[in-house]
């Protein structure tokens, strides 16, 4: 839980994603201290110095490189460390390597920051979120992953482009796995309260079935396409993490689809971490927000659960 006026954020992993998160948080002025921790200490030192040189233009804060012991008194610890998936590497291979990395990280979080909220961003995020929660023994509300927050942002953006409306007027979610089995919840997707299908028929003059499939495919392949073009995705994920952190530090009770360990109370799902709309505040996940799913969406969510379980059973 966030206590007092001094707000400290630790980011483990000073690569492109970790430093872009740090930079976006710095610009938002929501914390008073950011600590960057990386196995490459010079990289963390350089990134911290570069950001510090811009402090005269914004609110003053303490940005520095640190060691694991500098996790002490952190309100939130963000994990971005891990290897990126290489061409030809299976998702299972990636999970095995990154689980070994987050095991060491988790041990140090338990040692130095046992009261911190832990936000997992490294991929495969659902598998690693499950692993961190199990390794740490922390309450489920204290450990969660960025999950489908970015997928949901992409989903809303593409719907807004399709319907030519402000993206902030689009309300929709991607749930389940952050990956191939993710589930777009079309049944509740709406624009200013009007269901997407009705809006499309009325204002876009046509059957939306093909457009829906096109949007689904584009959301699923967006990350891979960006990586093909620029080798990395960093701005979208950084802004989605910034939004989650804003909900935590601001005690906002915002509803964001994040990945957390399921215990059977939501849709009968257990033994995995996956994304559902969750109320986020200074305690972490306050509660999971139940949305009505149609039969197809429910079936796809169960399929997503099973695919995640298959990986978990092989790596843990």
Question: Do residues 71 and 37 make contact, with C-beta atoms less than 8 angstroms apart?
Answer: yes
Nearest Cα neighbor of 284 from 249, 243, 233 is: 249
d(CA 61, CA 265): 41
Closest CA to 259 of 314, 312, 216: 312
Contact between 159 and 191 (Cβ < 8 Å): yes
Catalytic residue among 53, 171, 178, 290: 178
- Tally of residues, the chain: 316
Instruction: Say how far apart CA 129 and CA 147 lie, in whole Å.
Output: 9
Can you read off the two tokens belonging to residue 151?
């997928």
Token representation of residue 254: 């915002």
* Interatomic CA distance for residues 65 and 42, integer angstroms: 9
The verdict on whether 290 is a catalytic residue reads: no
The residue whose two tokens read 């559902």 is 276
- Three-class SS state of 112: helix
Burial of 173 (0-12, 13-18, 19+ CB in 10 A): buried
In this structure, what token pair is assigned to residue 198? 């009705």
As annotated, the active-site residues are 178
């Amino acid at each position: 839980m966030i206590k007092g006026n001094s707000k400290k954020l630790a980011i483990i992993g000073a690569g492109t994603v970790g430093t872009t998160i740090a930079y976006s948080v710095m610009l938002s002025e929501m914390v008073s201290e950011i600590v960057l921790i990386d196995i490459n200490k010079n990289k963390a030192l350089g990134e911290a110095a570069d950001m510090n040189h811009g402090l005269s233009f914004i609110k003053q804060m303490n940005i520095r490189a640190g060691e694991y012991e500098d996790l002490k008194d952190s309100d939130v610890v963000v994990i971005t460390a891990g290897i990126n998936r290489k061409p030809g590497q299976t998702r299972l291979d990636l999970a095995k390597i990154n689980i070994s990395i987050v095991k060491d990280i988790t041990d140090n979080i338990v040692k130095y920051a046992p009261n911190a909220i832990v936000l997992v961003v490294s991929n495969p995020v659902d598998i690693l979120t499950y692993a961190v929660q199990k390794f740490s023994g922390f309450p489920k509300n204290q450990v969660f992953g960025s999950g489908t927050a970015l997928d949901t942002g992409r989903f809303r953006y593409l719907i807004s482009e399709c319907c030519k409306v402000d993206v902030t007027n689009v309300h929709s979610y991607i749930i389940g796995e952050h990956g191939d089995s993710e589930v777009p919840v079309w049944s509740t997707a709406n624009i200013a309260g009007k269901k997407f299908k009705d809006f499309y028929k009325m204002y876009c003059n046509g059957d939306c079935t093909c457009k829906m499939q096109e949007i689904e495919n584009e959301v699923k392949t967006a990350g891979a396409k960006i990586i093909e073009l620029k080798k990395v995705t960093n701005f979208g994920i950084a802004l989605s993490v910034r939004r989650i952190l804003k909900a935590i530090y601001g005690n906002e009770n915002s509803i964001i689809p994040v990945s957390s360990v399921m215990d059977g109370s939501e849709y009968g799902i257990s033994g995995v971490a996956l994304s559902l709309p969750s109320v986020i505040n200074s305690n972490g996940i306050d509660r999971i927000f139940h949305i009505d799913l149609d039969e197809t969406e429910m079936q796809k969510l169960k399929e997503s659960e099973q695919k995640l379980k298959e990986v978990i059973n092989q790596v843990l």
